Amino acid sequence: MNDIQSQFVKKILNGAQTMPKEKGVAFAPSNIALCKYWGKRDAALNLPVNSSLSISLGDLGTRTEIRCIDVEQASLPAQGQAGMPAPQGIPDMVYLNGELQPVNSSFAKRISSFLDLFRPMFGNAHFEVRTENTIPTAAGLASSASGFAALVMALDDLAGWGLDKKRRSMLARLGSGSAARSIFDGFVQWNAGTNPAGTDSFAEKIDNEWPEFRIGILELSSAPKPVGSRDGMNRTVATSELYKSWPQQAAADLETIRATIDARDFALLGKTAERNALAMHATMLAAWPPLIYLQPETIEQIHKVQRVRAEGLEVYLTIDAGPNIKLLFLEENEAAVTTAFPGLQTIKPFG
């Protein structure tokens, strides 16, 4: 357990009394960044180099249920898991989409490590965590963002702390940076902050809805990423010459996108978001060894988006650290976009 993180958690909870009930339940939406977060100024506290701006994905996200269990329970396989070896070393029982995860799996270890930050508030209890993702896990569709946001919200529900969303956002940030944004729905800005203590780095909802806004998901692969975002960021910051110009570009892009939301200037929003995403991937390609999240199918679809746009269809794209593409378009073009891109999953963020 990281002492810096533990002290931060205590500061944010600020003496909140823990009165556990039977279980805590929460849902958090996934999000896609229109202006990306890439790179950290403090790894321990997950403080970003630049601010970012996202839009949530409606009912695509994570539902989490958490309860306290005793050590005896935690040392046994769950009912219905006959033949599964008893967990060793990490007594938490972590389920993903109904399946008990091996205690040495990266997923279970990451969840338990995060729970270590809160365990003292529950009398050093162990936990049963049941997580259901409605999006692929670790495939560049921000499953960790919704996952850690839902986990923090479920912990708050279990403990009865009554935290406001600002504090939930800062706690979720410790698990996954972009989880700070998944505490909210709609358009969300995550402020990078400047305080080394991290108390001014949190997300906040942008109170501006755009009912005609649509997002389309082109799921090209559900396989886990070969390099996680955390390691990918570290490698990019340490080795990519192109990264030097990233913070300034990201800051300018964020201001532009904020203005386009207010002005309902979809063309400029789409252009800026697409350029921002491709610029982020350019910094990765310039890292060493190069980070290549884009697959041949991804490149093919990028060309297709640019081609249909040149033919007059107003559609733009964005890509996170993964192979899957998210399309941005308006309601008036929904039929044409879904025809041009068969199998597209369309989301109404404000529906």
Domain boundaries, the chain: 3-205, 213-347
Q: Show the tokens assigned to 83.
A: 């033949």
Q: Show the tokens assigned to 257.
A: 């996108």
User: By the 8 A CB rule, do 117 and 1 touch?
Assistant: yes
Domain 3-205 adopts which CATH fold?
Ribosomal Protein S5; domain 2 (3.30.230)
pLDDT tens sequence for the chain (351 residues): 589 999 999 999 999 999 999 999 999 999 999 999 999 999 999 999 999 999 999 889 999 999 999 755 544 444 334 333 334 455 899 999 999 999 999 899 999 999 999 999 999 999 999 999 987 554 445 578 999 999 999 999 999 999 999 999 999 999 999 999 999 999 999 999 999 999 999 999 999 999 999 999 998 887 777 888 889 999 999 999 999 999 999 999 999 999 999 999 999 999 999 999 999 999 999 999 999 999 999 999 999 999 999 999 999 999 998 899 999 999 999 999 999 999 999 999 997
Q: Render pLDDT for 281-318 as a digit per residue (tens, 0 to 9).
A: 999 999 999 999 999 999 999 999 999 999 999 999 99
User: By the 8 A CB rule, do 213 and 294 touch?
Assistant: no
Under 8 Å CB-to-CB from 52, ≥6 apart: which residues? 33, 35, 36, 37, 178, 181, 189, 190, 192, 250, 254
User: By the 8 A CB rule, do 236 and 39 touch?
Assistant: yes
The 8-class DSSP code of residue 138 comes to T
38 burial via Cβ count (<10 Å: 0-12, 13-18, 19+): buried
How many CB atoms are closer than 10 A to CB 120? Answer: 14
Q: Which residue spans within 104-221 are E strands per DSSP?
A: 126-133, 187-190, 203-205, 213-218
User: By the 8 A CB rule, do 130 and 16 touch?
Assistant: no
Burial 286-324 (b: 16+ CB within 10 A, else e): ebeeebebbeeebeebbebbeebbeeeebbbbbbbbbbb
Q: Render pLDDT for 265-283 as a digit per residue (tens, 0 to 9).
A: 999 999 999 999 999 999 9
- Residue 22, amino acid: E
Distance CA 177, CA 169 (A): 9
DSSP, collapsed to helix, strand or coil, labels residue 319 as: strand
User: By the 8 A CB rule, do 66 and 26 touch?
Assistant: no
CATH of segment(s) 213-347 = 3.30.70.890
